[in-house]
Amino acid sequence: MSKVQRIYANNPDYKAQLHALLSRETDTGEDVQHLVADILADVKANGDTALCAYTAKFDGWDCTAERMVISRERMEKAWLDVSDMDRQSLQLAADRIKAYHEKQVQTDWDYTDDAGLTLGQKITALDSVGLYVPGGKAAYPSSVLMNAVPAQVAGVEKIVMVVPTPNGELNELVLAAAFVSGVQVGFAVGGAQAVAALAYGTETIPAVDKIVGPGNKFVAAAKRQVFGVCGIDMIAGPSEIAVVADGGNPEWLAADFLSQAEHDEAAQSILITTDEDLADKVEEAIEQHLAVLERAPIARASVKNHGALIIVNDLDEAAEAVNIIAPEHLELALEDPDALLPKIKHAGAIFLGHFVPEALGDYMAGPNHVLPTNRTARFSSPLGVYDFQKRSSVIRATPQGVAAIGAEAAHLAHREGLQCHALTLELRLQHQGE
């Protein structure tokens, strides 16, 4: 393969090169947006008929309302049919994900202020969520766990799943993961049409309050367009990793570098190091791994088009680069990662030291692997229990409380030209003097 692109912090146009590296075309063009809009409108108007027509067209099987349903009993059968090691691994992952996310559960609180008002917050779970589980180039039972378990921990009453089934073939491990993580019912449909079904509802698929889970560009476009009809978690783009290293095993670092490249041709892998000799050795190890990886063609395309080795002068420059990149996954493969950690502001998930590849987080560590991509870690966070709970403000006031702050509130209402707003307060203040 051709050499991996190198960017040097000493170069006068370093920042321009870095921003050019990050300007991947990850959003959907107008052609995709228009196609998706037509699909959404069709499913909204025609329900199961349109949904099954698109499923037959794109996934290649004879979809009917009855055949698209994946019952809880069917999930249990898959759970019993997979291997003992499959069950052991899925159960361990589910337990660890649950234990981590239980720390995120929010609770009600209140306090009484000096004016005598009692102010607080009430936490309630969403009524229903729809999990989009990607299919196609690979099947992801881990995505089922990462989406369903936090929803269950949050107290969501109804958890449903949609999963594309090319040629009508169900993935048994995905179904087993759905069973162990508490999914109540699934539907063998995917793509923009499945997002439409979850947003608007059909005769068979119930409308949900929020859609979560990653998908291809058509799924991303559909989620963007249905937002407002229901909630969404985020617009997920191609996966990405940044590895900061000041030493370590080049073979390990190269494998970590490629761990996201094998996902998708549009994925991005970046190594940031102060040691150009280490970069040389990692690049050599990358080629050695690519010679044997089953998904090498995908990884090669990713590395060629989007990969980079960034040579910086010191770890402060490394931290600065990380905060510009705002990567989905960040590995601090350093002898003292804790020294750099306070300088990191923007990253979806951070892996500290030489013995924690991001794959540990993908499957088993416990934190969520549904993470902000395409620099959105600057303003968003990993999926969590927070995404399945909502907050209501609670205000209680006594007559004395209204008397303490009501006149100023009425004044502001008048200043905004909202006379009846002010009147609601003035009537109560007047009552105080009677």
Percent of the chain with pLDDT over 90: 92
Looking at residue 272, its pLDDT comes to: 98
Across the range 174-186, mean pLDDT stands at: 97
Across the range 264-284, mean pLDDT stands at: 97
Across the range 299-318, mean pLDDT stands at: 97
Of the candidates 170, 185, 177, 164, the residue with the CA atom closest to the CA atom of residue 56 = 164
Token output for 49: 């008929």
CATH superfamily ID and name for 6-23+238-365: Nitrogenase molybdenum iron protein domain (3.40.50.1980)
- The residues assigned a catalytic role are 328-329
Of the candidates 210, 209, 218, the residue with the CA atom closest to the CA atom of residue 190 = 218
The β-bridge relationship of strands 185-187 and 6-8 is unpaired
The burial of 162, by beta-carbon neighbours within 10 Å (0-12 exposed, 13-18 middle, 19 or more buried), is given as buried
Across the range 219-238, mean pLDDT stands at: 94
Q: Is the pLDDT of residue 426 over 80?
A: yes
Residues β-bridged to residue 314 = none
What distance in Å separates the CA atoms of residue 61 and residue 165, rounded to the nearest whole number?
Answer: 9
Which residues have C-beta within 8 Å of that of residue 356, sequence separation ≥ 6? 331, 365
CB of 218 closer than 8 Å to CB of 196 = no
| Residue 423: CB atoms within 10 Å | 14
Looking at residue 1, its pLDDT comes to: 46
Note whether 6-23+238-365 and 30-232 share their fold.
Answer: yes
CB of 290 closer than 8 Å to CB of 1 = yes
pLDDT band at 434 (very low <50, low <70, confident <90, very high): low
Token output for 305: 């088009």
The β-bridge relationship of strands 158-162 and 6-8 is unpaired
Length of the chain: 434
Give pLDDT tens digits for 343-401. 999 999 999 999 999 999 999 999 999 999 999 999 999 999 999 999 999 999 999 99
The burial of 156, by beta-carbon neighbours within 10 Å (0-12 exposed, 13-18 middle, 19 or more buried), is given as buried
Residue 353: what are its φ and ψ, rounded to 5°?
100, 180
Looking at residue 28, its pLDDT comes to: 63
Residue 265: what are its φ and ψ, rounded to 5°?
-60, -25
Give pLDDT tens digits for 231-257. 999 998 889 999 999 999 999 999 999
Structure-token match 């899925």, residue found: 90
Average pLDDT over the chain reads 95
Token output for 274: 């102060």
User: Where along the chain do its domains lie?
Assistant: 6-23+238-365, 30-232, 397-432
Give pLDDT tens digits for 25-45. 655 678 899 999 999 999 999
Give pLDDT tens digits for 290-305. 999 999 999 999 999 9
Across the range 45-64, mean pLDDT stands at: 96
What distance in Å separates the CA atoms of residue 93 and residue 160, rounded to the nearest whole number?
Answer: 20
Token output for 107: 């609770």
CB of 26 closer than 8 Å to CB of 209 = no
Decide: helix, strand or coil at residue 350. strand
At the topology level of CATH, where does 30-232 sit?
Rossmann fold (3.40.50)
Q: Is the pLDDT of residue 409 over 80?
A: yes
Distances (CA, A) of 51 to 44, 62, 205: 9, 11, 10
Whole-model pTM: value is 0.94
